[in-house]
Homo-oligomer: A and B are copies of this chain.
């Protein structure tokens, strides 16, 4: 394949952007990271994703591709010589897609709900809902990973990327609320997986450190507060 021109528009703390970074790293694809500024949208972003105006956008040989999981699938389908990201068996693929959709539609909204919950009652309700989901994840890990190291089996795959990209924000929530969402006692499978995922060559340095994310979150909250007082 001829050398490709790959650009990624995004910001480093975005789990959605992290997904694309990890997929590109897995396939050993060189790319130019074009950092977007918070609160502003570059001309290139608006031109490349006129419908949603959102990051990430990957531009491959001048063609823009939007939406993180669609980009990850595209990467898998274009660079077929690297490690495969989607499982090869259609049923396993369907399961990986099912749980990836669960991250988007149910799990992450609940994690966010917990982080933003005001008052003990709301916090307890969100935490309970999330802990039930963590049990589902423990079970999904056993089924999808088939007793191997990752959701994708022996290697990082689609679901590892879809779910693992949120481990930074999961840790932020754990630290801020002084709780444990993944631990050796209740979710031993996930605990080992999270450790392996974060220290994988393709992931290391991509997901920002928890302290940095907390700092960023505090900055956002202060900005939002200042805006609401104006």
Contacts and interface: CB of A to CB of B under 8 A. Distances in A.
Interface in A76-100: 77-78, 90-91, 93-94, 97-98
Interface in A129-181: 136
A112 interface: no
A98 B136 contact: no
A155 to B, nearest CB: 20
A126 interface: no
Contact of A63 (B60, B74, B91): B91
Interface stretch (A11-19, A65-73, A113-121, A191-199): A65-73
A31 interface: no
A98 B66 contact: yes
A51 B105 CA distance: 12
A70 B94 CA distance: 6
A108 interface: no
B51 A70 contact: no
Contacts of A74: 90-91, 93-94
Given A73-B97, A97-B70, A97-B73, A51 B90 contact: no
B101 A67 contact: yes
Number of copies of this chain in the oligomer?
2
Interface residues of A, number: 21
A161 to B, nearest CB: 16
- Residue from A77, A93, A94 having most chain B Cβ neighbours under 10 A: A94
A98 B49 CA distance: 11
Contacts of A97: 67, 70, 73
A91 B73 CA distance: 10
A64 to B, nearest CB: 10
Given A65-B91, A74-B91, 15 more contacts: A51-B102, A51-B136, A60-B91, A65-B94, A65-B98, A70-B94, A70-B97, A70-B98, A70-B101, A73-B94, A73-B97, A74-B93, A77-B90, A77-B93, A78-B90
Interface of A: 51, 60, 63, 65-67, 70-71, 73-74, 77-78, 90-91, 93-94, 97-98, 101-102, 136
